[in-house]
Amino acid sequence: MKTKTIGFVGLGLIGGSIAKAILNVYPNTRILATASRESTIEAAFEERLIDNNGLLKIHQFGQCDIIFLCSPVKINCDYLKMLKDVVKPDCIITDVGSTKGDITAVARELGMTNQFIGGHPMTGSELTGLEHSNALLLENAYYILTADSEMNRETYDEFASYIESLGAIPIMLTPEEHDDATAAVSHLPHVIAASLVNLVQDTDDERSICKTIAAGGFKDITRIASGSPTMWQHVFLSNRDALIKLIDIYKDELEDFRTAILKSDADEILRLWTKAKDYRDSITIPDNALLRFYELYCDIDDKPGTLVGVLQLLADADISVKNIDIIHNREFEPGVLRIEFYTDEAMKKAQTILVHNNYYVRQRTN
């Protein structure tokens, strides 16, 4: 696929990461972008990520070969309408939204089904904004592509190859298949995470005991509740029917656990948990370099200078530490001192050094 100019409407975490991945592979690409804040565009220009140093009008995207819509779902629909009479006949318009039903319907109404390809990179972070974007965000990440049946198959395949060349793994689904699947594995978990955090907050006492002792397990399963409220507002409303159906099914699943616990039915509790464990253990996680973490957990004595001693050993070996903290709630945690590194090589080197110096060290990997 020959692409000379690519446009981005929205340049946050996902848009910025895709733009950086493009320049990594195709450094001669011309990239134009606009965003909700001019400061974002100025920062991207200073970073030499884009070619314009100011907000663009929609008509200025008429020169683009591909346009990525990287705003919330409903806003992407509005932009698609504005682009109809602006873009070239062979320009591909795609989005990165978490639902496909609404925007595909708009493409059909506009007669743009041969130009619009829905896109959903299955990657990201609870962090938002251009400043957190990274070209590695797409590395080995599933990238769902959807299209109407009227889409030219050759054009669709060319775009899928282009996405694959950026390091992602394209998966081709219908818009309906996408929305049903993501409602189950993405949208419902976000509802559950947010509702669980609200539950703990609402039932905590005036001393904030729950907040104080919240362990790694609670933080792990509620991490996604730190995502953008506006983005998820758009997602939930645009995939309402599929999400409501799954919430009702999930209520039944909770009721199964409630009944088993209420009846002290040990066999049923074991069955429900084993069923979940077996399926969870069967899920393989793509080797996404950006989303991997490299952590060691180390037990240390509560004595003056012990922590400094650990850090000095690592510094003497020229090992950079990304983050370090003391774990006060040890439930489900393999050590009192958590040390995070930038690379797997650094983590393994640090483990060898610490073990050689009689520290009890364990890894916890993703």
d(CA 192, CA 359): 39
Token digits for 322? 């990304």
Looking at the structure, do residues 161 and 47 belong to the same domain, yes or no?
Answer: yes
In the structure, what pLDDT confidence band is assigned to residue 326 with cuts at 50, 70 and 90? confident
Average pLDDT over residues 65-77: 94
Q: Which of 4-13, 51-60, 117-126, 285-294 has the lowest mean pLDDT?
A: 285-294
Helix (H, G, I), strand (E, B) or coil at 72: coil
What is the reported pLDDT for 305? 82
What is the reported pLDDT for 297? 84
Looking at the structure, do residues 166 and 24 belong to the same domain, yes or no?
Answer: yes
Give a yes or no: residue 103 inside a domain: yes
What are 127-143's pLDDT values in tens digits? 678 988 888 888 888 89
Looking at the structure, do residues 56 and 77 belong to the same domain, yes or no?
Answer: yes
What is the reported pLDDT for 211? 85
d(CA 204, CA 197): 11
Instruction: Identify the H or E element spanning 116.
Output: strand 116-121
Token digits for 337? 């001192």
**What CATH number does the domain containing 247 carry?**
1.10.3660.10
- Residue with more model confidence, 272 or 285: 272
Q: Which of 38-47, 219-228, 230-239, 281-290 has the lowest mean pLDDT?
A: 281-290
Nearest to 175 by CA among 151, 153, 191, 152: 151
Give a yes or no: residue 287 inside a domain: no
Looking at the structure, do residues 53 and 162 belong to the same domain, yes or no?
Answer: yes
What is the reported pLDDT for 331? 43
Answer with the one of 214, 246, 281 that is the final residue of a domain.
Answer: 281
Amino acid at 258: R
Largest CA distance in the chain: 71
Give a yes or no: residue 59 inside a domain: yes
Provide the 10 A C-beta neighbour count for residue 56: 17
d(CA 183, CA 243): 6
Give alpha helix (H) positions in the chain. 13-25, 38-46, 73-83, 101-110, 153-165, 175-182, 188-203, 209-213, 216-222, 229-238, 240-262, 266-281, 306-316, 344-356
Looking at the structure, do residues 49 and 158 belong to the same domain, yes or no?
Answer: yes
What is the reported pLDDT for 132? 86
Answer with the one of 281, 308, 334 that is the final residue of a domain.
Answer: 281
What is the reported pLDDT for 35? 94
What are 88-128's pLDDT values in tens digits? 999 999 999 989 999 999 999 999 999 999 999 988 766 67
Number of domains in the chain: 3
**What CATH number does the domain containing 318 carry?**
3.30.70.260
Domain that holds residue 167: 5-173
What are φ and ψ of residue 130, in 5° steps? Answer: -55, -35
Nearest 10 degrees: CA dihedral of 72, 78, 82, 85? 110
Answer with the one of 173, 192, 218 that is the final residue of a domain.
Answer: 173
What letters, b where the CB count within 10 A reaches 16 and e where it falls short, cover 285-322?
Answer: eeebbbbeebbbbbebeeeeeebeebeebbeeeebebe
In the structure, what pLDDT confidence band is assigned to residue 15 with cuts at 50, 70 and 90? very high
Looking at the structure, do residues 132 and 191 belong to the same domain, yes or no?
Answer: no
Looking at the structure, do residues 44 and 106 belong to the same domain, yes or no?
Answer: yes
Looking at the structure, do residues 73 and 133 belong to the same domain, yes or no?
Answer: yes
Looking at the structure, do residues 153 and 207 belong to the same domain, yes or no?
Answer: no
What is the reported pLDDT for 144? 94
d(CA 94, CA 133): 19
What is the reported pLDDT for 334? 47
Mean pLDDT of the chain: 88
Q: Which residues contact 143 (CB under 8 A, 6 or more apart)?
A: 119, 120, 121, 122, 163, 168, 169, 170, 171
d(CA 97, CA 116): 13
* pTM summary value: 0.73
Looking at the structure, do residues 166 and 201 belong to the same domain, yes or no?
Answer: no
**What CATH number does the domain containing 27 carry?**
3.40.50.720
**SS3 for 319-331, per residue?**
CCEEEEEECCCCC
- Residue with more model confidence, 6 or 232: 6
What is the reported pLDDT for 289? 53
Looking at the structure, do residues 226 and 158 belong to the same domain, yes or no?
Answer: no
